[in-house]
Amino acid sequence: MVTEPHELTEQEHETLRSAMERGDYEISRWVTTTGLDEELGVSHQAVSEQLRRGHRCLVEHGLPTPRK
């Protein structure tokens, strides 16, 4: 349940956390969601959507305004 518009849903949090723990954000790794769908018990499309929504939420609310 989301209580604030800038908070991640449980599914978005779990998807982002699982991807990070698998090393999907390492520089030398080709980012793929293969297997993450099975690990989370959701479709490949659901993983992709949860990652995009989660990234957008983090960027919109976590990215500071650039200094001038």
Per-residue pLDDT tens for 49-64? 998 888 888 877 876 6
Helices (H) and strands (E) in the chain, counts: 3, 0
The encoded tokens of residue 52 equal 């995009």
How confident is the model over 15-55, as pLDDT tens digits? 888 888 887 777 655 556 778 888 889 998 998 899 888 88
Give the pLDDT confidence score for residue 31 in this predicted structure: 53
Specify the pTM. 0.61
